[in-house]
Each structure stands twice: as structure tokens, then as C-alpha cells.
Amino acid sequence: MPTPVAGTTITVVGGDARPGLSGVSSDALVAWFAERGEPAYRARQVADAVWRGDATTAADIQTLPAALREGLDEAFRFDTVADTELRLSDGGLTEKGLHRLADGALIESVLMHYPARPGQRERHTLCISSQAGCAVGCPFCATGELGFGRDLETAEIVDQVRHAARRLAADKKRLTNVVFMGMGEPLLNLDRVLAAVDALNDPRRFGLGARHITVSTSGVVPGIRRLTALGPQFTLAVSLHAARDALRDVLVPLNRRWPVAEVVAAAREHAAATGRRVTYEATMIAGINDTELDAQAMADLLRGDHAHVNLIPMNPVAHTPWTASPDPVIEAFAATLAAAGVTATIRRNRGQEIGAACGQLAAERAGEPAPAVVARRRARLVDESAHALRGERSHEPAPAGIGE
């Protein structure tokens, strides 16, 4: 059993208790060397090898004395991703990565390339996961259907970025943005997510500005409040999907614990305290949350706020009775918001043909549920949404395991 390192959490993952090196803070690494009577520049050497070099074990850092290399390998893992399967789509503009972790857990990340256009430099955005699976269980989301697996370790979050950055560096390109919009609810794994954001921000490690990082939440109110107290760490995006509680109870089951008015109030306080605009996301589902009544409810909810809404046609995922709203319907929804002074952008999803709605590849690997199970699930969703559209609130409890 290696000696625990200050500032890191050690969890036995797949029998490997060593923390991933990319999740270890610069100060903790300096302290590790200091305990061995070594100067701080050793930590810098290792961080460089991890972040800018190709070191996969300590043996690759030839400039370190052999005893230190051995100690490093005993104390830390250089990589927490066992292997990655890449799938390309959109003519190579979207790269979907399915990563296997040490214990066999599968997570996904998506790298999206946006070529330069007038007034905008080229961008390379990586969408990363914070958990394997998700406890929230939004029915239109492939990850939600998988259910909760486990929280990711800090290094497991950061290594998704390290891998993508390395692929980009091979093409002389740099990662410009990171969004926590992959698998999992980041605010239910907030300690690790904050440590990962630290690693991404830290100029001695990845060095990506806070403005280039977005964290999306389905509405974990205590988590939003904690972020507000910390001050601006990154851009906060809130997955709204519906402004009416009855419908949001079905689309985002967390709403039964923290209703939409509380979520928006917390987001509003966050915007006021940090001076940063909150982005809301709404996945548009035909005939469910795209009606004029819903547009009006959302406009009323956000009127006068320093907010922006992204309207995203639902990615077709298996096992729902639903499809994406047609473009003209989404345009009308955006117009209703605009009339109330709420700005809205229509965002079309990338990579649909490779299943880029996060969770789809992992769901594929989990195997197809029995037809009877799928049929029951579809029937339940039809029934629940019919009640919700009549304004009747759900009597189902909030999902288990979402904390207080």
C-alpha cells in the first residue's frame, strides 16, 4: 500500500489504490519531493512530463534518479485511462472517445473541432464526463437510462482532457474549451470536479482559463450555492428543459427534490454574485416541452435575468417514445423568449450518427434491454408525460442517492 499523499483522496479502484498523477495538485507534488529531500523543480519536471510530454510511467522521465522514479511509480498512476476507442463523424470534425478505466467502468468524452469563421478563431472543445452513469435519470438521456455507476476520481476527469490535448498537440493544435456535459452530474461529484478544474486552471499543469470551462448541472441547488460562495470558477450552465414543475418532474427527476423556482433563484444569485451570465439549456422534445405554453412559461421565469438559453433538438436516443422538435417549432420557441427579452440560440448537436449524445456508446456496450422492458419504459413515459402536460405533478419520489 503506497503512502497517502497530502491533498489527494485515495480510493481503491480496480485494485489500484494509487491516485492518478494528473489529479495531484502542484503543491502536493512539491511536498512529496520535499519529504524525500528533493527540490521543488523535481515536481515541475514530473508535471511537464505528464502534461506536455509522453511519459506513461516514471521510467520515461530519464532525468530523474532511479530511486525517485521507483517511488513515483509506487505512489502514483501516470494514466487512469486503460484504453480508448475513437469514433469519428461529421467528416472528422467530431471525435467521440469511449474510455475504459482501471476497474472496467466505461465513460465518454467528445472532441469537437470548430473551424475558424469570420470574427471567430478556430476552436477545439472537449466535452467530458464527471461520473460513470448518472443517478438523476432524465428519461431522454442515454446516461440517465444507464443509472449510476460511480463517481470519477479527479485524475479520471483530468485524464480525458490530457488525452484529447495530446491528440490535438500531434496536429499542432490546442484545446480551447472544456465543457462538463458528458456523463454524470458534476455537482453531485463536486469536490473532485473542483479539483479537476484546479488542475485545468493551474498554469503549472494544463493552464486553461476559467472562462474557457463550462460546468452543466441539472439543478443541484446546494452545489450551485457552494459555487456561488467560492466565486467565479467557470461558466455555469443549468439544464432547464421545462419551466413548469409538473413537466420538469418528469424530464429532470431531480426537480422533485429542488423545484425549478429554487434552481433558477440559486442560478440568479450565482449570476449576481459572480457577474457571470448563466446559460440555460433546453433539450427540445416534439409535443412535450416545445409548446407555446412552455415557451411563455420559460419567458416568464427568466424575464429580466442576465441569462441566455440554448435550445437543443433532442438527440434521438433509444428507448424513449420521443423525437426532436421540428426546426420551425424551435424557432417559434426562441421568438417567444426573445419577445420577453431573453436571448436564445438554437444549437444543433454534433455527431448524431455516432451516438454523440453522451452515454450512448456506453449504453450500447451495456447491451440491449429485453423488448418487454423497453416497451414498459416507453409506456410509462407516455403516461407520465400525459399527466404532466395536464399540469399534474408527479407523486414519484426524487431519485435515490442525490444527497440532501
Nearer to ligand SF4, 130 or 274 (CB): 130
22 interacts with ligand SAH by CB under 6 A: no
Residue with CB nearest ligand SF4? 144
For the chain, the first-to-last Cα distance in angstroms comes to 34
Minimum distance, C-beta of residue 78 to ligand SF4, in the bound complex (Å): 29
> 108, 145, 156, 384: which is the annotated catalytic residue?
108
Q: What is the DSSP letter of 225?
A: H
Please give the backbone phi and psi of residue 280, each rounded to the nearest 5 degrees, phi first. Answer: -110, 145
Give the cell for residue 287: 409535443
Give the cell for residue 329: 417549432
Which of ligand SAH, ligand SF4, none does 137 bind, CB closer than 5 to 8 A by kind? ligand SF4
In Å, how far from its chain's centre is CA 232?
Answer: 18
Nearer to ligand SF4, 94 or 218 (CB): 218
Q: Of how many residues is the chain composed? A: 404
In Å, how far from its chain's centre is CA 89?
Answer: 20
Q: Quick one: residue 63, left, alpha or beta (phi over 0 = left, psi -120 to 50 = alpha)?
A: alpha
Which of ligand SAH, ligand SF4, none does 23 bind, CB closer than 5 to 8 A by kind? none
Kindly state the helix (H) or strand (E) to which residue 201 belongs, with its residue range.
Answer: helix 190-201
Q: Catalytic residue at 358?
A: yes
Minimum distance, C-beta of residue 130 to ligand SAH, in the bound complex (Å): 8
Binding site for ligand SF4 (CB under 6 A): 134, 136-138, 141, 143-144, 184-185, 218, 239
Q: ∠ CA 259-261-266 to the nearest 5 degrees?
A: 100
Q: How many chain residues bind ligand SAH (CB under 6 A)?
A: 17
Q: Catalytic residue at 292?
A: no
Minimum distance, C-beta of residue 357 to ligand SAH, in the bound complex (Å): 4
Minimum distance, C-beta of residue 330 to ligand SAH, in the bound complex (Å): 12
Which of ligand SAH, ligand SF4, none does 109 bind, CB closer than 5 to 8 A by kind? none
Q: How many CA atoms lie within 13 A of 368 on its CB side?
A: 7
> 127, 134, 138, 358: which is the annotated catalytic residue?
358
Catalytic residues: 108, 358
